[in-house]
Amino acid sequence: MKNKNLNILLFGVSWALYHLIQNTRKIETKKILENILEQELLALLDIFPKEKSTCHLLGLLYCYKTLPKYHESERYLKQALKLSRQNKDHARMLNCLGNLYYEMKNYNKGQIFYQQASDKTKYKGLPFLNLALTYEKLGDKKQALIAAKKAEKYLKQEKSLRHSPTTNEELGRLIRRCSR
């Protein structure tokens, strides 16, 4: 029980630090915070090697840090996916892997993970939005519009999740672009 409480505490601090990094504008400060978080998460992984949340956060950090480490991100996100096979986080991990491949401009691979994520969750709005953006990058406006309309439908049903106005604005712009 003591180890579990320690894990929760340390992970909470890590998650707060990750959000602080996301909202930091100064590049040098951001790099320092990224290095601190990286060391903290790697230490956590040494103590709790099968903790999917730590793998997930480490994967996100490597994907979105100032100088991305996509190979490391892929490694940790796949580890988190493997650890989440039997629970509700599985679809979220699939979506995160789709985001990684989108960031890497490997849209075909991203498309596969977004589709799998939409198949494995009842909250389909975000995976379909990501799928629509991917189809657009692949130049398939017809499929992008179909996925965007599905995203719109599901996001309206998922009001309780309070998707950000940015998500709704982005979806509206995407639908207009694909309708031309």
Segments making up each domain of the chain, as ranges:
1-83, 85-180
Tell me if the domain spanning 1-83 has CATH number 1.25.40: yes
**What is the per-residue pLDDT across 9-31, written as a single tens digit (0 to 9) for each?**
676 777 777 777 777 888 888 88
How far is the C-alpha of 77 from the C-alpha of 93, rounded, in Å?
Answer: 7
CATH architecture of 85-180: Alpha Horseshoe (1.25)
This prediction's pTM: 0.83
Could you please report the per-residue DSSP string of 68-97? Answer: --HHHHHHHHHHHHHHTTTSTTHHHHHHHH
Domains 1-83 and 85-180 share a fold: yes
Structure confidence by residue, pLDDT tens digits, 78-137: 999 998 877 778 888 999 999 999 999 999 999 999 999 999 988 899 899 999 999 999
